[in-house]
Amino acid sequence: METPILQFGTSRFLQAHADLFISEAEDAIGGITIVQTTDAGERSRRLAALAAPEGFPIRIRGRQDGRTIDEVRTVRSVKRAISALKDWDETSRIFSNEVQVVISNTADRGYDISAESPDLPEGIPVSFPGKLAKLLFHRFEANGAGLTILPAELIARNGDVLKGIVLSLADRWKLPAAFSDWLDNEVVFSNTLVDRIVSEALEPAGAVAEPYALWTIERKPKQVLPCTHAAIVVADDISPYANLKLYILNLGHTFLTAGWLASDLPRDMTVRALLAQPEYRERLMAFYENDILPGFRKMGLGAEAEAYVAATLERFENPFLDHRLSDIAQNHAEKIRRRAGGFLDWSGVSSPALEALLASAG
């Protein structure tokens, strides 16, 4: 059994995103080997369930195109699930000989290499980028075949960032210059944007997710994709998709949260409950129409923004999702500066509502 796709991470997000898309696609290049990157003993049961021949369930629940959706799909794209720490030699063999595409979704500090050794470690590197760098070096020495890396971490230009970290480790570890040249010429680090709310894990494997899903991948020469799928968009420039998400969905969350924080409404309120109050729904609609859509129209993205607003409202009003405003309110001031300030800088429009929101952040 060969698997041309290797996935770092067992997250519920990837189960309901890349794993599901590849399972549903008619032209997938092959199956997936999932590699658990951390020492999480309690996940051994999950590894077995992820690779079970009968597959694992993804429950899709929410609103889309005016319909309520509540259905279960089965993922059968995962053929193996192993641990990097327990199965390093096998991980290296698969990586060197089978893989054409690498997918990753690591924790918030997944790109942190501060604990990495100053020299190429004889054993298993501590960090995810360290593991990736050593596996890439083994592949370079074994056969030098190219491959495509599709990081799914929520980091701007994640492919460029990850490549820079791997190159810095190659320099730190004094690996041959020919290895860095190979990384430049034969290994494609693609920038990607992922967008889907995966609200709950199922045990021992599987997840609950909203109907909306997007995987935007920046097109590059020599790039190999795992499949084609309606939720996968390949584009020369993925920044419009990033701006739609940041300045409509994320900024909409921030706008609603600011109103809720200034009110005497319950502190355990959800986005859906807030929008059930006509006053707050009307405020949000006016905010989008008067303050956000003019900026997107100015930047030539009016139709795309109008469609994204409609999809966002359905996502906010998902009857199966309890998205608490108190969770969104974390790091509220910084989110205002990044989202409201970023939109004003990007669009160049004048917006008293956004300027007032920005002023409230201090």
CATH code of 354's domain: 1.10.1040.10
Residues 175 and 321 in one domain: no
Question: For residue 222, what is the domain's CATH number?
Answer: 3.40.50.720
pLDDT band at 132 (very low <50, low <70, confident <90, very high): very high
Instruction: Kindly tell me if the per-residue pLDDT of 42 is higher than 60.
Output: no
Q: What is the mean pLDDT of the chain?
A: 95
Share of the chain above pLDDT 70, in %: 98
Quick one: pLDDT at residue 41? 61
Q: How far apart are CA 316 and CA 233, in angstroms?
A: 23
Give mean pLDDT, residues 289-294.
97
Asked if residue 193 lies in contact with residue 204, where contact means CB atoms within 8 angstroms, the answer is no
Instruction: Kindly tell me if the per-residue pLDDT of 45 is higher than 90.
Output: no
Residues 226 and 127 in one domain: yes
CA distances in angstroms from 227 to 21, 28, 118, 208, 232, listed in the order given: 8, 4, 38, 23, 9
Residues 109 and 44 in one domain: yes
Asked if residue 291 lies in contact with residue 354, where contact means CB atoms within 8 angstroms, the answer is yes
Of 196, 213, 236, which closes a domain?
Answer: 236
Residues 247 and 322 in one domain: yes
Of 182, 209, 236, which closes a domain?
Answer: 236
Instruction: Kindly tell me if the per-residue pLDDT of 109 is higher than 80.
Output: no
Residues 210 and 320 in one domain: no
Residues 337 and 206 in one domain: no
Q: How far apart are CA 107 and CA 202, in angstroms?
A: 19
Residues 79 and 176 in one domain: yes
Contacts (Cβ under 8 Å, ≥6 apart) of 73: 20, 23, 24, 57, 58, 59, 60
Residues 162 and 254 in one domain: no
Q: How far apart are CA 357 and CA 351, in angstroms?
A: 10
Q: How confident is the model over 220-273, as pLDDT tens digits?
A: 999 999 999 999 999 999 999 999 999 999 999 999 999 999 999 999 999 999
Residues 180 and 313 in one domain: no
Of 208, 236, 264, which closes a domain?
Answer: 236
Q: Which tokens in the block code for residue 143?
A: 């056969």
Residues 215 and 278 in one domain: no
pTM of structure = 0.92
Residues 53 and 159 in one domain: yes
